[in-house]
Structure 1
């Protein structure tokens, strides 16, 4: 069930914003008080129901969207950045995100939907999927790219939150520019999707064989980074707030180490396609029952784990032709 908007005390409010037809159900948008107007952390999915929930939820605390001073986006994914542009149009607020994600947003604005559908099918074929397993991705299933930010943040930079200290903590992995935000005057950390209380975020490699990029390695390093912080309360973008940042970060690291072991067990001296490796892994749903979009994300997650194994010297790619194949080093 979706929670109600909540006053968390010390000038911090939580507003759940629904994600239509998604098992995550909602994004927790946070509002932080300042003399120049509230600053939002994330904004929610671009949908009329989501907009109504954000507007009315803020209104519960006497906050008008027109008074918003700024929106800090933890990462560019649509359930976090989707409504940022509409908030800016309504209030004149600035939008800020890490420069690595801002680069992706600009790229999305120069790539049309038809081209993105072609890229998806080509990537699945390169992974080793047979044409009989592929269908043309529905155009209606793609969302518009988020608004291009006005400001770009770097690691350790303070956000424009007058009278308060909100520091950017760069935590790449789930996205290249994912950030957590440490409210230093309140001993709270807003973790976006980086550290969630019960689930782990998707960490994928796109394209599947892009060189010199190790998103899972970055993610594990980012978890190490935040696990060393002494912060009392964790405010994630999904599920619920909790205490024990370090312990939860270590649990997620352990989960991925177990996953790396599972991937390693599928490798041998015989070249195996990325598609077959992905199909051999354990997923929440049976491989045969997974839709094409879910399989595409699964292959990206498998590719990210294999890349980390490559970085560690455990696996290597066999040849440079398609389909993409790997062997145990």
Structure 2
């Protein structure tokens, strides 16, 4: 039986991916509507051969009986409207960070902790941060086999994680820099073109410990999703002048010995993971190749020579931040709800 689905934030980068992925995966839908901010109301969107008019988000959006709402709107708006939707019997899958660390809201990556969807007592399920999702899909199967002790993560995150306007700013600024012309930016605090910014989000102040909120998300979300509070995590998150896909260099310290061949064997069987690792042929994951793909791609798997007993592995992973890092994971959560009869 089809579900009655609301796509909230339908005109944003993630919202556009919600629409395409729901169609690509043939999610069972009996009724659907598309919602966005008041300024986007009235715009048209195509879905499965039909044209729909986008509605403005309001307190009455969820009044007429809906089963699942996929949210991709700012945190403050999600805090307001998610409980409203849930109070009317609609299960919310929220892409913001409004509820991620609340004890009674499950934070779900279906390949890792899909059963947690049954714990959504408030009718809200949180979609994790984009850089967390791609990483835990690869790290969790290694943890199950070898017990992860510590993670050292450096992310290289694309500008699409900021939104459509950030993509346009990078393109325009790149053209201006190449032409030797001045450019007045509005999204990033420093030149993004041909540069690397070690601050995400670009608008937030650093925490008292010197870390950014993005970096602290990696720590807390990893532990919650993997049900592994003892894992130690340290991280540096950077923004790079790439349009799509987040890349991450991950160093893993295990409790047990783990060789590169063992890691490859484990990852090759893991759901949602593709191993692309043949350095003799210069084969490894690249953002330009992975954009539009659903899996987390892993390569450059090698021993950490600084640890005794083969207890460390270095790897390189790339995932599409708008797909698996956001919209796809949310749709997979919705699919898990359907599979469990919820």
Same fold (TM over 0.5): no
Whose strand fraction is larger, Structure 1's or Structure 2's?
2
Per the normalisation by structure 2, the TM-score is 0.26
Choose between structure 1 and 2 for higher RCO, CA contacts under 8 A separated by at least 6 residues: 2
